[in-house]
Structure 1
Amino acid sequence: MNAKPPTGLDLLWGAGTGAPGSATSGTATSATRQGLTPDRIVAAAVELADEGGLDAVSMARIAERLGFTTMSLYRHVRSKEEILLLMLDAVAAVPPALDEPPGDWRLGLERWCAAQWTMLRAHAWIVDVPISGPPVTPNQLTWTDRALAALGDTGLAESEKAGVVLLVATYLHNSARLSAGLGDAASGESVAAYSTLLGRLADAERFPALRRAVDAGAYDYPADVPEDDRQIDYSFGLDRILDGVEALISRRAR
């Protein structure tokens, strides 16, 4: 991470910098009095991203949606990069259910991951935001805190807990990126078509292991999975990661 913190933190943490939109900035502009605020700008940006992806977000389009000039936005936010940071925090509110970690660390992380997955699926553009450093916004740090709390009584060193959280979060992020990238290709119909194609291409002599997998239905959705639920699933990989964490916890206990 750069030594200089990203712009926008003063808006999120209330730092007294006197920057546009901060708690200690000067008299409200006419745009503010008429309803233009950092919160409204960020809300409009999130709407655009949810509708059309990250490419749909620009200062001009945000201004158009709010009915203001592009220049008026710069009285409240400094750049699109700052808006992206504010957008990430805006959609990352932590569910109250995670405030109290359960007694079982694994169940706690599974609930944490389920809540993260819901957020990532609701705002698919999150995975396209350039990573400029570790989490620094209030909501991002709250997510980190809740995951660390779930590991509180495992006996792991604090550095190991932090490593587990990073590993799990990275896995979820990559799974969500794959899910968003595949889109309709992950539907039951598309997967069935792919399985059929593999059945024609996977010659038993050239690809014996692949042939066995195709014949065993490894590339088909289970028949009992409803069509609406046929999408990229993170649970298998997460279970394997948590199995490894469980082994580490047992080793530390010994």
Structure 2
Amino acid sequence: MPADVALMWGLRDERRRGPKPSLTAEDITRAAIELADAEGLGAVSMARVAERLGNSTMALYRHVKSKDELLVLMTDAALERPEPLPEGVDWRTGLTFWAAGVLTAVRKHRWYASLPISGPPAGPNNLAWFDSALGALAGTGLTEEAKVGVVMGLMTYVQGEIRLSLDLAAGFTDNPEAFSRYGATLARVVDPRQLPALARVLEAGVFDENISFDESSDADFDFGLQLYLDGLSAFITRVTGEQ
């Protein structure tokens, strides 16, 4: 079993002689999440987490061998288990509920979107979300392979949109003028002969109003989600003949 998977599932063999240790990997992960919530992901280090726990750094290394391992644990632990899908809903309602749940879970920990993604879901919490989305597709008639492809594509959209919205919101906070003058800036540099499609957008006045970004607004997220689900609806009809 891969070392990171064993770590997330608590399956790594850590048998030692002597009394049972008072510190656990779960304690370390919880303290790291609290530190990241308070000060950001950049504040997380083995030394700072040890300080928060009132332990030596070496005491942490007995359970978590590196900061990279700690980030792996945080990646799974911070994403709380999903709420059960509502009974009797269709696949579209189920996936919309699921996506909203991911959005809510990640917003509890702003730093989550900055965590590196090193592979497919493998921890207990991440697999619970994977299973929930797959379950929403149970009545579609899709093959199991197709269901996996659909869910992985949806994960890519949801995670990508969350990361983008948080980055843009931070950029807007740092430099709102760059956003408010975006349309005027483009109007000075966009040549219709070279960028005709973008020129038509400007001519339509799409960027005339001030642009702002609010990470708590779900309008853009919902728009993209419904586009994805519209495409999925067409796919299900094409391969199964069902609506």
Q: Residue in 2 aligned with 1:160?
A: 146
Q: Please tell me whether residue 13 in structure 1 is matched to residue 5 in structure 2.
A: no
Q: Please tell me whether residue 116 in structure 1 is matched to residue 102 in structure 2.
A: yes
Q: In the TM superposition, what whole-angstrom CA distance separates every residue of 1:190-214 from its partner, at most 9, and x where no partner exists? A: 5332223223333555544323212
Q: In the TM superposition, what whole-angstrom CA distance separates every residue of 1:131-170 from its partner, at most 9, and x where no partner exists? A: 3322111111110110001111011111000000000001
Deviation at 1:172, TM superposition (A): 1.4
Q: 1:110 to 1:197 in 2, by over 3 A?
A: same
Q: Residue in 2 aligned with 1:215?
A: 203
Q: In the TM superposition, what whole-angstrom CA distance separates every residue of 1:71-120 from its partner, at most 9, and x where no partner exists? A: 11122322222222221222111242x34454211111111111112223
Q: Please tell me whether residue 194 in structure 1 is matched to residue 207 in structure 2.
A: no
Q: Which segment is superposed worse, 72-81 or 206-215?
A: 206-215
Q: What secondary structure, in the 3-state scheme, does the structure 1 residue paired with 2:121 have?
A: coil
Q: Residue in 2 aligned with 1:250?
A: 237
AA of the residue aligned to 2:198: L
Whole-angstrom CA distance in 2 between matches of 1:45 and 1:68 = 13
Whole-angstrom CA distance in 2 between matches of 1:169 and 1:49 = 23
Match of 2:32 among 45, 70, 93: 45
**Aligned-pair RMSD on alpha carbons?**
3.1
Deviation at 1:189, TM superposition (A): 6.3
Deviation at 1:184, TM superposition (A): 3.2
Q: 1:236 to 1:106 in 2, by over 3 A?
A: same
User: TM-score when scaled to structure 1?
Assistant: 0.79
> Is the CA contact 2:141–2:240 (under 8 Å) kept in the aligned structure 1?
yes
Deviation at 1:65, TM superposition (A): 2.0
> Is the CA contact 2:25–2:64 (under 8 Å) kept in the aligned structure 1?
yes
Q: What secondary structure, in the 3-state scheme, does the structure 2 residue paired with 1:234 have?
A: helix
Q: 1:228 to 1:158 in 2, by over 3 A?
A: closer
| 1:126-145 matched pairs, under 5 angstroms | 126-145=112-131
Deviation at 1:9, TM superposition (A): 2.8
Deviation at 1:67, TM superposition (A): 2.1
| 1:89-100 matched pairs, under 5 angstroms | 89-96=76-83, 98-100=84-86
Q: 1:87 to 1:183 in 2, by over 3 A?
A: same
Whole-angstrom CA distance in 2 between matches of 1:249 and 1:113 = 19
User: TM-score when scaled to structure 2?
Assistant: 0.82
> Is the CA contact 2:134–2:148 (under 8 Å) kept in the aligned structure 1?
yes
> Is the CA contact 1:8–1:86 (under 8 Å) kept in the aligned structure 2?
no
Deviation at 1:49, TM superposition (A): 2.3
AA of the residue aligned to 2:239: R
Deviation at 1:14, TM superposition (A): 4.6
Gapped regions of structure 1 (runs ≥ 5): none
| 1:77-92 matched pairs, under 5 angstroms | 77-92=64-79
Whole-angstrom CA distance in 1 between matches of 2:209 and 2:24 = 47
> Is the CA contact 1:49–1:55 (under 8 Å) kept in the aligned structure 2?
yes
Q: 1:108 to 1:37 in 2, by over 3 A?
A: same
